[in-house]
Each structure stands twice: as structure tokens, then as C-alpha cells.
Amino acid sequence: MNLMIHDVNKHFGPYHAVKNLSLSVEEGEAVGLLGRNGAGKTTTIRMILGLLRQESGSILWEGKSLSRKEIKLGYLPEERGLYPKMNMLDQLIYFGQLEGMSKRAAKQEGLKWIDRLGINEYIKKDTGDLSKGNQQKIQLIAAIMHDPDLIILDEPFSGLDPVNAQMLEEVTRDLIQQKKTMIFSSHRMESVESFCDRVYLMKHGEVVLSGSLHDIKTKYGFKYVNIESSQPLEESLIGLQTDFVRKGKEYQVQVKTMEQGLYLIEKLKNIVDIRKIGIADPSLNQIFIERVGD
């Protein structure tokens, strides 16, 4: 079960929100959709959900035009929203029924997830009285309780404390193991890196970078030498004509190849006291800032 978007365009008045977008997601694959605010991610997601109509191009599910009637979709929107005066379980039953579940099945599934996410004690509480993290858990349950074929999670980690984020990561991993087709839209690059096989980086409505994370990092053309020392390194690094940034105690030097990195380490070893040193691929965050930052 795969999703295929081919050459899709969308305008809002004179503004070209999505330009010739093509992307694909295979069954059991999680794909990251990245970009700054206004890059066209939400418009793309809304077109997949059928809430907006593309002007050209096609959105296919298993080779056929995607129809909401024929596919079960799970969507966690970026902006969280629940009925504040409805209790948690009633809300989940309502959402489950709207997705075609029987009342009994919706209740059963809702209770199962409530138990798994550790929010049993709030079961009869109005959702408006719950913490943001717990509200987010309810929304996640609402997005996945009906066993959807395609799951779209828009900023799933925003507002979660580390414990809840960890819990959500476990759930997401399970879904990937269950061969769900998933699209992840997030600004938390470490999460995207840990879940997604491939990413699409959007800027001003078009994909500026795409592919597997390994390929992107390899093709990126830079590596970083990370150095920690007991003494200031600015003078030495300027002397070695390197391009560096200081992040707290750590200095980060950009090099083009592994050899250049090793050469730099060799040189530094002789002139400064080094506590910690290593060569690393660029993180997705670094690539993101590099490619979509102004």
C-alpha cells in the first residue's frame, strides 16, 4: 500500500503554495516532510487528506486516485483540538465511530490505548481540564485507534515532556513495525532522523532536498570535527584557516572530507590540550538550517 504524489501544484491567489511536488511513501515506511513555516507542508497534507484540491498532478494510493472513502486515514494535526467539555472516553468513542467503528469497538480500542498511554485516571474528566501533554495523547489515540492505512502526524512531539515524548516514540515505532505507511512532519529533527527512512525538505512550496538520510548526508559534502578543550581554541583554529563555530564548550569545524578531518585532528593534537574530539556526519538539523535558512 503506497502513496504516490506526482507533479502536484496549488496556488492561493497569486501565491504558489506547492510547486511541482512529487513524493512517494511505501508500505511500512515513515517519510519525513520537513520545512519551515509556510514551506507548503500543511497544504500538501491537506491535499492528501482531500481537504484541498490540487490544480494539477495526481495523488495516488496503490496506483488509484486517493479517495477518502476507500482508505482509512489517521491524522494528527499540528494544531491540537478536542471538545473541551466532553470527557476523554466519550470523545474517543465519538471519533472512533466517525471513522466507521462500532460504539463497542471504539470503546474497547479507546480503553486499550488509554491504558497503554497511562491516562486511566483522567478517563471521566473533561478534556479541557487536562494538561497539554495528556490532550495530545488523546489526539494521538484518535488518529490511530481505527487502524488507519495511512497515518499523517504533524508535529507530534510539540509540547510533550521527555517522558511523554519517549512514550510517543515507542508508539510510533510500533506503528512502523506494523507496516503502516506514515508521513511525519516535524521540526524535531532528531525524531525525524530516528524514525524516517527518507525525508523531503520543502522550501517556498518546492522540494529542495529529498532521499534517504544516508544518501543526503553522504552527498551533503561536509563533515564536522567536534573538539572539546580546556583552553580557548579560537587562535589555533584561525591559524589553521578553518571555518568553525563555538557551541558552549565545543568547537565545531566544517571539513569536506574524512582525510581533511583527520589532518586537522593531527595538527591540533600537537598544539592544544584536547579533552574530546571526533568526526561526524552533519545532523539533519544542520542540513535543514543550511538548506532552508535565509
Nearer to other proteins, 30 or 142 (CB): 142
Q: Is 53 in the site for other proteins (CB under 8 A)?
A: yes
Nearer to other proteins, 99 or 193 (CB): 99
Site for other proteins in 212-251 (CB under 8 A): none
Q: Is 124 in the site for other proteins (CB under 8 A)?
A: no
Is 21:7 a contact under the CB 8 Å cutoff? Answer: yes
Long-range contacts of 233-238 (CB under 8 A, 24+ apart): 233/268, 233/272, 236/268, 236/271, 236/272
Alpha-carbon distance of 106 to 98, in angstroms, equals 10
Q: Is 12 in the site for other proteins (CB under 8 A)?
A: yes
Q: Is 254 in the site for other proteins (CB under 8 A)?
A: no
Based on its alpha-carbon atoms, the radius of gyration of the chain, rounded to whole angstroms, reads 23
Contact segment (CB under 8 A) with other proteins among 89-97, 169-177, 188-196, 223-231 equals: 89-97
Is 179:185 a contact under the CB 8 Å cutoff? Answer: no
Among 7, 27, 64, 85, binds other proteins (CB under 8 A): 85
Minimum CB–partner distance for residue 98 and other proteins (Å): 4
Q: Is 95 in the site for other proteins (CB under 8 A)?
A: yes
How many amino acids of this chain bind other proteins (CB under 8 A)? 27
Among 21, 30, 41, 46, binds other proteins (CB under 8 A): 46
Nearer to other proteins, 45 or 253 (CB): 45
Site for other proteins in 163-202 (CB under 8 A): none
User: Strands 30-35 and 56-61: what pairing?
Assistant: unpaired
Q: Which residues bind other proteins (CB under 8 A)?
A: 11-12, 46, 49, 51-53, 68, 73, 75, 77, 79-86, 94-95, 97-100, 139, 142
